[in-house]
Amino acid sequence: MKKIGLLSLSLLALFVLAACGDGGEPDNGGSGTTRNIVLSYADWGDQELNQALIDAFMLEYPNITVELRQDITGSGGEFTANLLNAQAANVLPDVFAIDNVPTGFSNGMLLDISEYWDADPDTNLVYPNIADTAIYNGGRFAIPSFQFIKGIYVNMTLLDFYNIPIPPKDWNYDEFVDLAIRLRQAGQSDYVYGIDPWFGDLDFAAIWPTQDFTDVGYQTFDGERFNFNSQAWIDGYNAQLDLYAQNVVAAHTPEELAIIGDIWPWLEGYIGFKIDGSWNLWMIDTMFNDYGLEVGFWPYPGGAAGQFPPTILDYAVVSSQTENPEEAYLLAKWMTFGRQGWGTRLDVMEERGDLYLDRFPIADYPEIWERASDYLDYVEGVRENVELFEFAKPDVDKWLPGYKEFWEWVNNDDNQYFTRISEGLITPEVFALEWETKINELIREALGN
Beta strands in 350-426 (DSSP E): 393-394
pTM: 0.91
pLDDT, residue 361, reads 97
Contact 359, 274 (CB under 8 A): no
Coil/strand/helix, residue 105: helix
pLDDT value at position 35? 85
Helix (H, G, I), strand (E, B) or coil at 315: strand
Whole-angstrom Cα distance, residue 26 to residue 182?
A: 57
Phi then psi for 15, rounded to 5 degrees? -85, -15
Phi and psi for 65 in degrees, rounded to 5? -100, 130
- Going by C-beta distance under 8 Å and a sequence separation of 6 or more, which residues neighbour residue 55? none
Helix, strand, or coil (residue 306)? strand
Successive 10-residue mean pLDDT values, the chain, 449 residues: 35 39 41 82 96 98 97 92 94 96 96 98 95 94 97 98 98 98 98 96 97 98 96 98 97 94 92 98 97 98 98 97 98 97 97 96 96 96 97 96 96 93 96 98 90
Domains of the chain: 4-146+313-391 (3.40.190.10), 149-310 (3.40.190.10)
β 393-394/139-140 pair status: unpaired
For Cα atoms 206, 211, 217, give the angle at the middle one, nearest 5 degrees.
Answer: 55
DSSP assignment of 386-430 equals HTTGGG-EE--TTT-TTHHHHHHHHT-TTT-HHHHHHTTSS-HHH
